[in-house]
Amino acid sequence: MSVEKYVNGRTDIEKKEGNFGRLNIGQLAVNANQLVPSDLERYRHSKSVLKVAKRLFQEKYGRNMKVLEVSSELNIPELYRISQIL
């Protein structure tokens, strides 16, 4: 995840919770520069990961992955390994 996505996401959350006026965006950005790289697995951007997983599935199987359906075809070693990392 990029620091930018982290900061934008946290900012959106604070806006929705009504805390935006009290948020120190500069301090959030400074902290994010240390926080995000220190734990990439925790702060990984799930939309980016899903996009890569869909692309890899499409390249290998020649069709789109349907992530909202139960499918035995998704039970493949590469995807299982990725799920364990995430």
The Cα–Cα gap between 10 and 53 comes to 25
| 72-80, long-range: CB < 8 A, 24+ apart | 79/53
pLDDT of amino acid 55: 92
Extract the tokens encoding 85. 């990392």
User: For the chain, what are the domain ranges?
Assistant: 3-38, 46-85
pTM: 0.51
pLDDT of amino acid 49: 81
Query: Could you list the mean pLDDT of each consecutive 10-residue stretch along the chain, which spans 86 residues?
Result: 84 89 88 86 78 91 80 75 79
Q: Are 45 and 5 in contact (CB under 8 A)?
A: yes
Extract the tokens encoding 73. 């075809």
pLDDT of amino acid 56: 92
